[in-house]
Structure 1
Amino acid sequence: MTALRPEDFDAFMREVTGFEPFPWQRRLLREVQAQGWPALLDLPTGVGKTSVLLIALFHLAMDPQRGFRRIALVVDRRIIVDQVDGFAQKTLDALNSADPDKAISAKVAERLRALSSDPEAAALHVAHLRGGIPRDDSWIQAPDQPTIIASTVDQVGSRLLFRGYGVSEGMRPIHAGILARDTLYFLDEVHLATAFEETLAQLEDRYAGWAARGEDTGRRFGVVRMSATPGGDPARARFVLDDDDRAHPELEKRLNAPRLASLVQVKTARSKEPDARARNREKLALAACQHARQAVQERGARGIGVVVNRVDTARRIAARLKAMKLGEVLLITGRMRPFERRAVEAELARSVATGVRLDQERRPTFVVATSCIEAGADLDFDALVTEVASLDALRQRFGRFNRLGRHEHTAAWVLGCSDQLGSKAADDPIYGAALRETWAYLEEVASSEGKAKVVDFGLSAFEELEKLEDPARREALLPPRAEAPLLFPSYLDMWSETRPAPYPDPDPALWLHGKREHEERDVQVVFRADVPAPLAEPRGRELEWAREAVEFLPPVAEEAVSVPRRELVDWLGKQGFAWRWTAEGLESVAVETLGVGDTVVVPAGRGGLGSGTWDPAASAAVEDVAEQALFALRGQARLRIDARCLPPALREGLPAPSRSGDPEALEAAREVAGRWLDGLVDLVDLVERAPALGEAGELSASWRALLTAIGESTPEARALTIAEGEEGLVWRVVVEPTQGVALEVSSEDAVSSFTGLEVSLKDHLEDVEAWAGEFARQAGLPEALARDLALAGLLHDLGKADPRFQALLRGGDLIRAAGSGLLAKSQQFGSRSERARAQARSGWPLGLRHELVSLALLDASEALQQKASDLELVRHLVASHHGWCRPWAPTTRDPKPQRVRVEVAGITAEVSTAALDDAFTSACAARFRRLCRRYGWHGLAYLEALLRLGDHRASARPTLRPKKEPS
C-alpha cells in the first residue's frame, strides 16, 4: 500500500478545496503527528476552521494506529452545521475521483478503504445526526468505517448517555458504545457547550479506569475544544495563529478587513403581554426590512444577510421582503424540514457562498435566518442586518459579513429593541443579561460618524478592544456558563439500563446543557397525506389503516422537522390524540404524553409548514415527501398509487379507491393499477420533457429520479400490492433493491427477520460469526475477546430453529416449514398485519424471544460453552442482541413448550423452551451488572455493538464476508 507523508497534505488540500493550506493548517498536522491533538484550538472565524476535519481524516489515513475512525463536529445549535455536509461531500468527490490530477486523494482513499473489513466499503461515510427517527440508524454502517459526523450536543450527547433522543430502547446501547470508542469530538464554540464539555471530561478522566477490563474494549474517545472568541481559557494549552499566519496575504486580508456596523435602537414597548411582544417583533421586522432595502438601494448590496434571534421574527421578515419584491428571499431556520433545506442550501451555494462574485448585474439575494447560521456557515454577505445578541453570537454573525475581506462596498446594522435594553430590562430568554450588557458595551466602544454610532467588528479590531477589557466585564457579555451536575456512578448505572429504562430515570439534559438550561426541547414531526387525524382514540380498522400506511414508508430524517414540544402540544390540542412512530410501529397516544425526541406523524392537510419552516399558523397542506426522502437517503424505490400523495402531473388515470370485496372487482382494479404503472414506466422517456405531463408543469428533480428508478427496473423486480386505507383499497409499488443496494435491516423486533430475501440459518450464523470477529480484530481487541464475539455471532440466532419460528418465517405455514431447511431471514417483507397473521398461524407465542431460546441452547450444551473464553460475556451477547437483557429479560412463558434441536459447528444442542423460567431470566440481570463492572458501561455496550452491527452487515448483504476471515 502506498505510504503517505505529511508533505502530501498540501496536495490533498488543493485537490479537495482548490486552495493551498494556510500555515496554521500545516503546523497543526505536524503537531498532531508529533504529540496528538491539542486541548483547544483558539482560532478566529473565517480562517478555515472546518478544515480540521480534513486534517483529522488525513492523519487517520497516514497513521491509522493514532488516528480516529469517527470524526465528529459538535455545535450547540438546534440544527447541525450544514456546511459540514458540503465540505464532506467535496472530500468524498475527491476521494472517489478518477482524475489523475488527484493522485494524493486516491492514495488517501486507498488507505481509508483498507481500514474497513468490508470489501465493498466506501472510503468515507458522512452522517448528520439531525434528529432521532426510530429504525433510521443508517448512519451506523460499520464500526470500522471511517466516518465524519456533524451533530448537535443534544443528539450526540444523549446517545453517549444511553438516552439517545428518538433512538429506540433496543438501539440505545449501540449508539452509546460506538460513540464512546474511537471517536474524536471537535466541540465548536465550546464556551456555548460548557456543560457537555464537563460531562465528556468526567467520562474521559474520572471513569477511564473504572472497569476491571475496560482497557480490553478498544480505543477511547478524544476531545478537541474549538473557539473563535479570542483569549479562550488561559489555563488550557492552546493552539493559536502565529506570526507566519498573520503575515500570510490571504489571512492578513481577512484578519484586518474592516466590518463597520451602525447601532440602531428600535422603539418597542416593555410588556409581558403576548400581543405586545408580537407587536414588538413586528416593529423589529419592519426596521430590519427597511435597512435591508437601504443596503440594496443606497449601497448596491447583492448578498444581504438578515439574522434575528427568533423563528417568528424571521418568518415575519421573510414575508415582508417577499412582498417588497426586491430580489430572491431565502428563509433558513433551525425549524426547517431537511428536505426543503437542501434546496435552500443549494441556492445559498449559488448566490452567497464564500467566493461567489456579488456583481451588480444580478438580482439581490436576501438570506433571512436565525442563529442557525452562526457557527460554521460558509456564507459571505456584503450587507448584514442583525438583531443584538450576546457578544460571541454577534462575532459569529459578523463572521459571515465580508468574510474574505474582498467586498469594496459594505453596509451593516445592529438593531436593539428598546424594551430589552437598559439596566431595568428583563433578561432575554436566550441570551440572558448578556444581550443588554453587549449593547451597552457596543455603545461604549462605538465611534461617532455623524449621528450614527459605528462599531468595527473586524477580527483584528475586536482583538484590540478585548485586550482592554476587565475579565469580569467580558464574562458579562457572554451567556451564563452552564455547569453540569457531578456525574455519579449511580447515574451511569441507571442509564446503562436501557430496556426498559428504570423509574425514576435521570434527565440527561442536565448533563448536556447544565442546571440552568431552559432551552426548548424538541420532537420530530413528519407530515403524511394518507394518514388520518385521530380525533378520538382510534381502535380497530382505523388504527390498522394508519399503521399500514406508515409501515410501507417508514419515516426518515430527511422528512422530519424539529418542533418545540410545547408548541406542538398547543397546536395539536392538549386533550387530543396523536400518532407516534416507534421502533415497533405506529401507535396512538394522548398529545400531552408526547416526550422529547418522539417522532409524531401529522396529517399533511393539517398544515404547519411555511416555506419549509415550522409555522403553526400555516394552514395550507404540507407536501408529503415520503417517497422522495426515502429514495434520496437509501436508494429504495417505493410508490403509493394514491392521488393524495402524488404530484398533479401523475394523477391522470389513477385507479379509484374501492371498498368492494368482490374478487372480480378487485381483479379489475388490479388491471387498472397495472395499466397506470405501465404508463408510468413509459413516462421514463418523457421525464426530461416533464411540462408535457400535465398542466401542473415540471416534476421536481427528486420525483424524476424516483420515476426513472421505477421505470428502469425489470417487471420481475416490481411488486404491485394492495392495502386497505381510510379512502378504500389503494395500490402500492415496491421495487426490489438493485445490485449494490443493501437491504433495509434493523435489529428492531418488528422487522428484523423480514428483510425480503430468504437466507438460511447456517449461512447467516456463519456470516455474523465472520463479521463480529473481524470487527473485533479491527477494533484492536485481544484475540480471546475477538473469538468470543465471533462465537456469539455463530450462536446468536440458534433459537430460530424452533419449528414455530420457522413457520413464522414462511408466512405461518407449519407444513412447509417442516419440509424445508432452517431459515434466518424471511423472503416476505410483509405489512404489520401480515406478520401478525403469520404469527397466529405459526403458533409462535407472542412475546417469546428467540434470542433467549438461543441462550438456553448454549446453556444446555457443555461442548458449546467450552468454546468460550469469557462464557458470561458470550451468554450476555447472545441474549442482548436485540437490546433486551439490559438488564431485564422478557418473562413471557411458553404455554406449549417445545423441544428445539439444532446443529452448529458440528455440535448438536437441544433444549425445551420450558427452560425459560424465572431463574433463567433473573440470571440475565445479575450477569449484566457483573459485566458492566468488568468491562465498563460503555465498554460492554461497545462489545454488544460490534456483534449487533456484524448482524446488521450480514443481514444487509447476505453471503458477503469481510476481507479477513476468522481463524
Structure 2
Amino acid sequence: MAEEASLIEERYKNFFRTATSDSNSGKGHDPYPFQTRLATGEKLPELIDIPTGLGKTDAVVLAWLWRRRFAGEQVRRATPRRLVYCLPMRTLVEQTEEKARMWLSNLGLFSKRPGSTEPADTGNWSKWAEKEGPESDKTRISVTVLMGGEDKDDWDLYPERDAIIIGTQDMLLSRALNRGYGMSRYRWPVHFGLLNNDCLWVMDEVQLMGVGVETSAQLQAFCRSFGIMNPVQYIWMSATVGEKQLETVDHPKPHEGWTKHFLDCDEKNTPEVKKRVQAKKPLMKAELKLSKDNEKKSYAREMADLILSKHKKGSLTLVVVNRVDRAQEIFKELTSKDRTERRTENDAAVLHSRFREGDRKARMQLLCEKQDRIIVATQVVEAGVDVSAHTLITELAPWPSLVQRIGRCNRRGEYQTDAQIFWVDIETNNEEGGLVLPYESKDLDIARNLIETIPKASASLEALAQAAEGYVEPEAVRAVVRRKDFIDLFDTTPDLTGNDLDVSRFIREGEDKDVQVYWRDGFSKEDGPKGALDPVRREELCSVSIGKIRDYLKKHNGWIWDHLEGKWKSVGESGAVNGCRPGQVLLLHPENGGYSPILGWVGIEGKTVASVEVIPAMESVRAKDDHSMNEDRQSNIGSWVTLKDHTDHVNSEVQALSESLNIPDHCRTALCEAAIWHDVGKAHQAFQNMLLSGKGDDGGLKSGGPWAKSDGSKGRPYYWVISSNGNKIERTYFRHELASALAWLQTQGKVAEDADLVAYLIAAHHGKIRMSIRSLDKEKRPRQADRLFARGIWDGDVLSQVEGILDQDLPLDLSIMQMGEGSWLERMTALRDQEALGPLRLALLESILRIADWRASAKEEKKMVVG
C-alpha cells in the first residue's frame, strides 16, 4: 500500500508540474505536500485553512481535476462533474479564470467553449491528459465565468460534461436560490437544478462573504435533507477561516467537528514556507487618524502626504482604505496639479469594485507590473491578488481583513527587513455608520486591540497567528435562508403585483448589496428605449451599491426590462426609485454621466460616458432566451420542422442525457413521456396561425403540419384564432406548453404512472408555467364572464389531433386552475414535496427536458456545437 501511495504521489507531482508550467521556460513547480494530500487523500475536507500566498487556489482546482479525471475509478465517480468556484469580488474571478484556463491548456484539457472536443490551441497542445487519463473520458473542459451580462457560452447546454464555473457570490448564490441575477428569469430553474446537483462548490475568501457563508452552509444542508441526483459538496476556504458562521440552524457543527485541511508541523518548517510565514514586516501606527473633524476637510490630503512620504522609489506602495469614495478622493489628491510630487495615471491608480471590466483590468495590470507605482485600493486587494508590496498603508479594519491586507506586504520575504507597514486608526466611539462603514465599531475595536499586541519589529504571518489566538469572532445577526424560504423559492411565479421574493438579504449585507448598470445611446434620455436592445455583455457592466444608485435615480432616469410586458420601465425620476432592487441590471443614458474610466462610478458627477467595445459573442443558443412572457423565440428558427420530427429529436436528446447523467429508470420514463407530449399544444389553432400567418399555402405548408418550428422572424409572435362568427381574436400570452400539459392530464392522467410529474415537466419546459396557473391582467378575455381562461387558452378550446400522440381532437378543460382539491397548485405542491423527489431532484429533471429541447432546436437550426 505504501508503495502504491508513493507511485500515486509521484504521478500527481508530474501532473502538477505539467499544469503549472510557465509559458516561457516550459517548467512547472512541485506541489507543496498539503496540495498533494488534498488531491490524493481519501476524501475532500469541509474547511481549508492555509496561510496566504501558499497556493490554495492551485490546490483545490487541481485537486478536483485530478480526482475527477486521473484518480482511481471509485474516486472519479464520487467527484462531482462541475467545479463551482465562488468568490466575493469580480477581480478575484478574473484572476482565477486565467489560472484555470492555463492549467487546463497545459494539460491538453482546455476547451474554448462547452461541448467542443477540439483542443483550444492546436499549436501548443500538451498531450499529458491524453496519455495519462482514463480511456473512458477524453473530453475537454471549458471554463465559464458568471459575473453578469450575457454569458459568452452555453455551459448549461452540456450538463453531462465536466466544467469549471467561476463567479461572484451574487451571481452564483442567487442562481442556487432560483433567483439568478442578471439572466432571463425563465432560465432560473435550469441553473437552480444544475448548481444544486453534481457540483463541488468552493467558497473562497469567506472572510469577505458576510451572509453568503451562512447561505452556503444552508444550501449544503438542503442538498442533504431534500435529496439530490448526484453528489454536492461545499468547501469553505480562507487563510483566516472562521467556523462560527458555518453553524446554522440546518447545518450544525458535527460532534467530531468539521473536517479540516491545514499545514502539518513538518510543512511549517520547510524553507519555502518558513520564508513566507516568517517574512519581516515592520509595523507602525501612523500619526494620522480618521475622525469626524478631518473626514471632509483634510483627510484625503493628509493621507496623500503620508503616502508620498513613505513611498520608496522603484517599488510598489499599496494603500488600502475601507470605502470607494475615500479611495477616489485620496487618488485625486495624489494626482492633483497643485502637488510638486504629483503622480500621473502612468504610475498611480485607484482600484475598487466599481469599474467596468476593461478599466478594472488596466488597473490590475499596473498593480502587478514591476515598476514604480502607487495603488490606492479598497477591499478588492484583500484576497486572491498575488502582489508583494514594499510599503503597505492601511486603514483600521476588522481583524480578518487586516490579516489579508498585511499578507500583501513582503509576501514572499523578498524585501528582507526593508518592508514597512503603517496602519491608520479610525475614530469609533461606539457609533455606527459614518466613518466606520461598511464595518461596525465593535469589529474595529477588536482589531485595534489585537494589532497593538503585535511587536513593531514584524507583523509576520507567524506573529499574526499568535495575535489571533486572542481573537473571538464578534456576534453578528444575519438573515439565514430557512427551509421554508427555500421551498417557497422553488416557485418562480411573481406575486400579483409582479414582484419576486427578494433573496438579496441572503447574499450580501447592508451597503454591500449591488445592482449592475450599463450605458447605451440611441434613445431619448427622458422616455427610454422603445424596443428590445441587444443583450448586455459583461464588458459593459459596472457594479453600484444600492444606496448610490438610488441617489443617482433621484436626478436621472434609469430603465429595467419588464419581463411581463416586454418593454422598458423607468425606475428614475419619472418612475419608482424604490422599485430598484439588488441584483437588477439597469440601463442608463450616457449623457447623464455617472462613470469615469479613471475613477469608476462617480454618481451624478461626470461627463458623458463612453461606450464599451464589446467582444462579439460566439453564436449561442442562449440568444434564444425569452425575455418576456409573450415571446417564443425557439419556435422561429429559420426552417420548417414538423411537430412529429421535433418530438422525435427531443426524445432522442432526453434519452442520451438521461443515460449520461445516470438518471433513475422511473424518472427516465417520465422524461421520455414528457418529451413526447411537450409540444402537443402547438397543434392549437392559435399557435399554427401564428406560424403560418402571411404564408399563403406556399409549398403546401397549411396541409403539411402541424408544425413545431417555422422560418419566421424573431419578433413578437401574434397568436390568434377565428371565432364562430368569423372574427379574428388575438390570444395574447398564449402558452402552448399549458395546452400540452392539459392534454396529457385529460388523456393519460388517470392511468399513467407519475402522471403529475410528467404534467409538470411538460408545463415547465419554457420556465413560464410551473407551480401555478393563472390568467394575466392584459390577456384577452372571453365574452362569457364565467368562462375560464389563462395564458391565451380558453376553457373548451379544441386541440387538434396529433399523429401518434393525440388520436382525436380534444376540448381543453381549464378547471384544474381553480383552487381546491385536485387543483394544479395542490398537485404540483404535493409533487415538489414528495420525499423520493423533492425540489432539487425535480429541478434537475425539469432542466434535462428543457436542455433536450434546446439541443434539438439548435441542431435543427444547426447552431449547436457537436464535437
Paired letter, 2:592? R
Counterpart-to-counterpart distance in 1, 2:681 and 2:432: 70
Is 1:781 the counterpart of 2:675 in the alignment?
A: no
* CA contact 2:493–2:500 (8 Å) conserved in 1: no
Q: Relative to structure 1, is the Cα distance of residues 325 and 300 closer, same or farther in structure 2, using a 3 angstrom cutoff? A: closer
Match of 1:604 in 2: 590
1:744 paired residue number: 623
Give the residue type in structure 2 aligned to 1:943. Answer: L
Secondary structure of the structure 1 residue equivalent to 2:607:
coil
Task: Please name the residue that 1:45 is paired with.
Answer: 52
Q: Which residue of structure 2 aligns with residue 104 of structure 1?
A: 128
Match of 1:827 in 2: 711
Q: Flag the 1:111–1:610 CA change in 2: closer, same or farther, 3 A.
A: farther
Q: After the TM superposition, which residues 717-736 of structure 1 pair with which residues of structure 2 at under 5 Å, given as runs?
A: none
SS in 1 for 2:688: helix
**Aligned mate of 1:70, from 78, 82, 88:** 82
Q: Show the counterpart of 2:3.
A: none
Alpha-carbon spacing, 1:439–1:321, altered in 2? closer, same or farther (3 Å): same
Q: How does 1:359-508 map to 2 (within 5 A)?
A: 363-408=371-416, 410-420=418-428, 428-432=436-440, 433-447=442-456, 456-467=458-469, 469=470, 474-475=471-472, 480-485=475-480, 487-488=482-483, 490-501=484-495, 507-508=502-503
2:424 counterpart SS class: strand
In the alignment, the residues of structure 2 paired with residue 757 and residue 801 of structure 1 have an alpha-carbon distance, to the nearest angstrom, of 19
Aligned partners of 2:357, 2:432: CA distance in 1, in Å?
40
Matched, 1:930 2:847: no
Which amino acid in structure 2 is aligned with residue 48 of structure 1?
G
- 1:182-581 aligned at under 5 Å gives the runs 182-193=198-209, 195-205=211-221, 208-210=224-226, 214=227, 217-229=228-240, 235-270=257-292, 277-279=295-297, 283=299, 285-296=300-311, 299-323=312-336, 324-325=342-343, 327-348=346-367, 351=369, 358=370, 363-408=371-416, 410-420=418-428, 428-432=436-440, 433-447=442-456, 456-467=458-469, 469=470, 474-475=471-472, 480-485=475-480, 487-488=482-483, 490-501=484-495, 507-512=502-507, 517-534=509-526, 538=527, 546-548=529-531, 551-573=532-554, 577-581=557-561
Kindly tell me: are residues 231 and 506 of structure 1, through their superposed partners in 2, closer, same or farther at Cα, counting changes over 3 Å? closer
Q: Against the structure 1 CA distance between its residues 499 and 896, is the aligned structure 2 distance closer, same or farther, given a 3 Å change threshold? A: closer
Q: Retained in 1: the 8 A contact 2:204–2:238?
A: yes
Determine the C-alpha separation between the residues in 1 that align with 2:744 and 2:167.
41
Return the alpha-carbon distance in structure 2 between the equivalents of residues 947 and 424 of structure 1: 51
Q: Output the CA distance in 2 between the equivalents of 1:875 and 1:147.
A: 31
1:881 to 756, 765, 769: 765
Instruction: Give the Cα–Cα distance (whole angstroms) in 1 for the partners of residues 524 and 153 of structure 2.
Output: 27
Deviation at 1:418, TM superposition (A): 4.8
Say whether the 8 Å CA contact 2:281–2:417 is kept in structure 1. no
Distance 1:309 1:207 in 2: 36
1:619 matches 2:606: yes
Paired with 2:625 and 2:133, the residues of 1 have a C-alpha distance of 28
Cα distance change of structure 1 residues 191 and 393 upon mapping to structure 2, 3 Å threshold: closer
| Deviation by residue 1:230-263 (Cα, 9 ceiling, x = unmatched) | 7967943321112342243332322221122322
Tell me what 2:844 maps to: 942
How far apart are the structure 2 equivalents of 1:743 and 1:522? Answer: 25
1:445 counterpart SS class: coil
The answer on whether the counterparts of 2:833 and 2:839 sit within 8 Å (CA) in structure 1 is yes
Secondary structure in 2 matching 1:519: helix
- 2:443 maps to a residue whose letter is A
Give me the TM-score of the superposition, normalised by structure 1. Answer: 0.73
Preserved CA contact (<8 Å) 1:885 1:924: no
Aligned-residue offset at 1:335: 1.4
Partner SS for 2:519 = strand
Identity %: 26
The answer to whether the 8 A contact 1:332-1:341 is kept is: yes
1-side partners of 2:758 and 2:690: how far apart? 27
Aligned-residue offset at 1:183: 1.2
Distance 1:113 1:322, change over 3 A: farther
Pick from 99, 105, 119 the counterpart of residue 87 of structure 1: 99
Letter in 2 for 1:770: S
Displacement, 1:147? 2.3
Do structure 1's residue 180 and structure 2's residue 196 form an aligned pair?
yes
In the TM superposition, what whole-angstrom CA distance separates every residue of 1:68-101 from its partner, at most 9, and x where no partner exists? 1221222344765331111122134222455788
How big is the shift at 1:920?
A: 7.8
Q: Distance in 2 between matches of 1:806 and 1:581?
A: 29
Structure 1 CA distance, aligned partners of 2:831 and 2:324? 47
1:422 CA displacement = 8.9
Correspondences of 1:18-167 after superposition (within 5 Å): 18=21, 19-31=29-41, 34=42, 36-51=43-58, 52-62=60-70, 63-77=75-89, 80-94=92-106, 95=109, 96=119, 98=122, 102-107=126-131, 114=138, 123-131=140-148, 133=149, 138-167=154-183
SS of aligned partner of 1:368: strand
Residue by residue, what CA displacement relative to the aligned partner does 1:473-515 show, whole Å, maximum 9, x if unpaired?
x12xx56445444724x323322221134889764344445xx
Q: Does residue 1:900 correspond to 2:781, yes or no? A: no
> Residues of 2 paired with 1:161 and 1:784: CA distance?
27
Query: In 2 relative to 1, CA 444–83 (structure 1 residues): closer, same or farther, beyond 3 Å?
Result: same
Summarize the Cα distance change of 1:826–1:579 in structure 2 as closer, same or farther, 3 Å threshold: farther
The answer to whether the 8 A contact 2:92-2:384 is kept is: no
The equivalent of 1:17 in structure 2 is: 20
Find out whether 1:629 has 2:610 as its counterpart: no
Aligned residues: 782
Deviations along 1:107-131, whole A, 9 cap, x unmatched?
578879657xxxxxxx223233323
Matched residue SS, 1:597: coil
Letter in 2 for 1:879: A
| Equivalent pair of 1:885/1:925 in contact (CA under 8 Å) | no
Counterpart contact for 1:331–1:611, Cα < 8 Å: no
Q: 1:192, CA displacement in angstroms?
A: 4.8
Counterpart contact for 2:687–2:720, Cα < 8 Å = no
**Conserved 8 A contact 2:288-2:303:** no
Please, what is the CA RMSD of the aligned residues? 3.7
**SS state of the match for residue 76, structure 2?**
coil
- Relative to 1, partners in 2 of residues 1:842 and 1:569: Cα closer, same or farther, differing over 3 Å? farther
More helix by share: 1
SS of the residue 2:202 aligns to:
strand
Counterpart-to-counterpart distance in 2, 1:876 and 1:182: 22
Do 1:304 and 1:365's aligned partners in 2 also have CA atoms closer than 8 Å?
yes
**TM-score w.r.t. structure 2 length?**
0.81
Letter in 2 for 1:464: Q
Amino acid aligned to 2:68: L
Shift of 1:25: 0.6
Counting only pairs closer than 5 Å after superposition, residues 792-871 of structure 1 correspond to structure 2 as 792-810=674-692, 813=695, 815-816=697-698, 817-832=701-716, 835=717, 845-862=731-748, 869-871=753-755
Deviations 1:532-565 (A, max 9, x none): 223xxx5xxxx6xx143xx341212331211122
Instruction: Name the SS of the counterpart of 1:526 in structure 2.
Output: strand
Q: What CA distance in whole angstroms lies between the structure 2 residues aligned with 1:779 and 1:165?
A: 27
Q: Distance in 2 between matches of 1:844 and 1:207?
A: 44
